[in-house]
Amino acid sequence: MTVRARAAGLLRYGWTAPLALAALVALLPALGAGLTLQRELMLAALYGLLVAGFNLSFGFGGQLALGQVAVFAGGAYTTAILFSHGVSELAIAIVASMAVAALLGLITGLPGLRFSSWALALVSFFLVLIIPNIVEIFSAQTGGGNGIPGILEPKLFGATLDAEGLYVATVIAAALCLLFLRNLVKSRYGHGLLVLKQGAPLARSLGLSPFRLRLSAYVLAGLPAGLAGAFYAYYSGFIHAESFDFDLVTLLLAASVIGGINSVWAAPLAAAILIIGPEQASSFEQYSLLAYGVILMLVGVGFSIGLSGVGDALVTRIVGRPQRPAGVAERGAVVSQPSLVIAGERLETRGVSKAFAGVTALDGVDFEAEPGAITAIIGANGAGKTTLLNAISGHVRPDRGEVRLGDAQLSRMKTEQIAKAGVARTFQTPEIPESLTVLEIVASSRIGEHWIPAAAIAVRAPRYLASRRQDRERAMAALEFVGMAEEAALPARELPLGRRRMLEVARSIAAEPSLILLDEPAAGLDPEAIEYLRAVLLRMRDAGGTVVLIEHNVNFVMEVADSVYVMDLGEVIAHAAPEEVRQDERVISSYLGRRAAQAGPGGPSGAMEVSDAR
């Protein structure tokens, strides 16, 4: 086996090398490591758990939750209070501390997540500031300013742990927790968080509830902090409010930046860098804020991808990148016969109206789209086209009227419910989470289809594995449908605009939609890419899809559409076959202009934006 093949295997099974390293670290006492080094590595492992939890909520979920230190304190005090009441069993302390951590995450997340990420940051950071006050209020349990001393010799399933035993237990527990988090982020759940980080409208359009996803991420991010708190109580032997201060918040942020905010495994390594060196200098504590600030600036400016990004780049250099075949670059992979069936349903709107601040955007719009047909909507900017698409997909709720898809009444459904009912869409600006691969982005269309518990995902239960296999099979079929199968392993950030737009189309197809809404898919494309898009749209029609297309490129619309609606100032002013619409006097005067109306179908290569023709 070549070096590249072995490295590729390591990439595929990215948990093996970190766990092997953790096993080596756990064996260090047997290899002669002293007590000082053991304690430094224990602290790095515990702080690494804090950083990994923070990365889950911020790096993946985009939520700036600074309350990890407060949750950490809650876990530590829970273990200390249990010990003071005669409960020294570490397993019980871990369960109790993680339960308290989840509760704290829920309590702080509910109000904070209703607002912006910065509101959440303020709410969670406020928790850190009031730790001393809370400790004083419950001084009968917490010891107040005196703290809780003498937390020594825990038991694990009845056996007393000495210093070396506590070290080994800490390393093993941290490694297992990090594996749990790694499995979460490398799954449909983690991809859902990255979708949410890209934008709440995209998350809703894929059937996800942004609030529930954010809250679950915040609660799950608290679990490693609770686990770390349980071990920290026995590591320190003395719990005091001063141990959970702003310095620790700053260390957490610095370690997250150094390790990489989208990393799990790099978190303890980054924590070790910030702990082992400073621990050797007794005067470091008084300069800690300054040192962490300098580190953050240096890394943020010149090393922004973090240790994990550097590691990924090195492995990629060894393994190499998937090469895009010439046939894909030439866009010659689309054939005439569809390989998928897209079970479209009839769309109908009746009297749909919507006003924004007294300005009418939609005024009694009646609209129909049939399966096996491409129905286009054209009109000047501000005519109400995208508002109509938003009303159909649930991003805007109509003031009056109804929207029906088959037998389903969509008008009063939430956006995520409408997505689950079979409505898929693209956006004017492609919404593509760039840290995912092409295959992962297309598979993400199925995230909201059915719920799988986080625990089942993390332990790779058969139910999850079967779901992942089905998601990938459907995603690959959709990529083959649009001629992008050879690009499945590419990072999405490497795709040019035309391929990103096609990627959105593939994501819509993979959702097994009853209705596909395309918002200006040809915008910004060159003639070759437009021709490719035309072939794909015709395949979607022939496969049975109900396709609704908004587009300014008149020649393109006239070539692909079976029927055309023309809107002006929120009203439908014409509805007919393409050539009839082109000759409609009201359409000519309000939108097309004489030049565009008289121009024959020049094909995509001669396509003209209407805004240039008026």
pLDDT tens sequence across 471-504: 999 999 999 999 999 899 898 988 998 899 999 9
Query: What strands, in cross-sheet order, belong to the sheet with 373-379?
Result: 423-425, 515-519, 546-550, 373-379, 563-568, 571-576
Q: How many CA atoms lie within 13 A of 407 on its CB side?
A: 0
- pLDDT of res. 508: 95
Asked whether residue 17 carries a pLDDT value surpassing 90, the answer given is no
The least confident of 62-71, 123-132, 432-441, 592-601 is 592-601
CA atoms within 13 A on the CB side of 108: 33
Q: List beta partners, residue 365.
A: 352
pLDDT at 606: 40
Query: For residue 106, what pLDDT band results from cuts at 50, 70 and 90?
Result: confident
Residue 203 has pLDDT above 70, yes or no: yes
Q: What percent of the chain has pLDDT over 90?
A: 43
Inform me whether the pLDDT recorded for 193 exceeds 80: yes
- Residue 270 has which token pair? 């980054």
The domain spans of the chain are 14-241
Residue 61 in tokens:
């979920």
* Contact residues for 284 (Cβ-Cβ < 8 A; gap 6+): 278, 291
The residue ranges of DSSP E strands in 121-255, in sequence order, are: 155-156, 159-160
Rounded CA-CA distance 264/262 in Å is 7
pLDDT tier for residue 118 given thresholds of 50, 70 and 90: low
Locate 305 and state its tokens.
């991808």
Q: Residue 606: how many CA atoms within 13 Å on its side-chain side?
A: 8
Q: What is the pLDDT of residues 388-437, one digit of tens each?
A: 999 999 999 999 999 999 999 998 899 999 999 999 999 988 999 988 99
Amino acid at 101: A
pLDDT recorded at residue 369: 96
Q: Is the pLDDT reported for residue 4 higher than 50?
A: no
In this prediction the pTM is 0.82
Non-local CB neighbours of 288 within 8 Å, separated by 6+ positions = 247, 250, 251, 278
What does 205-232 look like in DSSP terms, one character per residue?
HTT--HHHHHHHHHHHHHHHHHHHHHHH
333-362 residue pLDDT tens: 454 445 688 999 999 999 999 999 889 999
| 156 Cβ contact partners less than 8 Å away, ≥ 6 residues apart | 89, 90, 91, 165, 169
What tens digit of pLDDT does each residue of 570-606 get?
A: 999 999 999 898 888 888 877 766 444 445 544 444 4
Neighbours of 4 (CB within 10 A): 11
- The phi-psi region of residue 376 (left if phi > 0; otherwise alpha if psi is between -120 and 50; otherwise beta) is beta
What distances in angstroms separate CA 432 from CA 213, 278, 372, 436, 437, one per listed residue? 18, 41, 27, 8, 10
- Residue keyed to tokens 């809703």: 204
Instruction: Choose among 517, 537, 346, 566: nearest CA to 415.
Output: 517
Q: Give, for 424, the enclosing helix (H) or strand (E).
A: strand 423-425
Phi and psi at 542, nearest 5°, equal -70, -25
With pLDDT > 70 as the criterion, what percentage of the chain qualifies? 82
Note the pLDDT of residue 136.
Answer: 86
Sign of CA dihedral 552, 556, 560, 561: positive
Mean predicted confidence (pLDDT) in 529-558: 93
CA 302 remoteness from chain centre:
26
Give me Rg for the CA atoms of the chain. 28
DSSP classification of residue 239: B
CA–CA gap between residue 61 and residue 52 (Å, rounded):
12
Cite the DSSP H helix spans in 398-521.
415-420, 438-443, 454-458, 462-482, 497-510
Asked whether the beta carbons of 202 and 431 are under 8 A apart, the reply is yes
- Please say if the pLDDT value at position 22 is more than 90: no
The count of other CB atoms within 10 Å of the CB of residue 38 is 20
Q: Specify the pLDDT at position 142.
A: 87
pLDDT at site 41: 92
Q: Which two tokens stand for residue 558?
A: 């006239």
Average pLDDT over residues 274-286: 59
- Write out pLDDT tens, residues 281-300: 555 555 655 666 666 666 55
Distances in whole angstroms, Cα of residue 511 to Cα of each of 195, 443, 471, 476? 15, 8, 9, 12
Per-residue CA distances from 249 to 69, 101, 219, 337, 520 (Å):
6, 17, 18, 58, 45
CA 199/CA 429 separation, integer angstroms: 12
Structure tokens at 59: 């790096």
Residue 167 per-residue DSSP state: H
- Among 175, 185, 173, residue whose Cα is nearest residue 57: 185
Distance CA 95, CA 70 (A): 18
Beta strands in 15-131 (DSSP E): none
Bridge partners of 408, per DSSP, are 405
Q: Tens of pLDDT along 429-461?
A: 899 998 899 999 999 998 887 778 888 888 888
- The two three-digit tokens of residue 117, written as one number: 């990420």
**CA–CA dist 605, 379 (Å, integer):** 21
pLDDT tens-digit series, residues 510-525: 999 999 999 999 988 8
Q: Strand 563-568 vs strand 571-576: parallel, antiparallel, or unpaired?
A: antiparallel
Q: How far apart are CA 309 and CA 299, in angstroms?
A: 12
Alpha-carbon separation of residue 133 from 137, 139, 145, 352, 497 (angstroms): 6, 10, 10, 55, 54
Q: Two tokens at 443?
A: 């598979």
Q: How many Cβ atoms sit within 10 Å of the Cβ of residue 574?
A: 20
User: What value does the mean pLDDT of the chain take?
Assistant: 83
Return the pLDDT at 291: 65
Token couple for 205 = 């359009």
Do residues 183 and 175 lie in contact, with contact meaning Cβ atoms separated by under 8 Å? no
For range 7-27, the mean pLDDT: 68
> Which residues lie across from 548 on neighbouring strands?
375, 517
CA distance 337 to 449: 28
> Position of tokens 């032997």?
237
CB 447 within 8 A of CB 208: yes
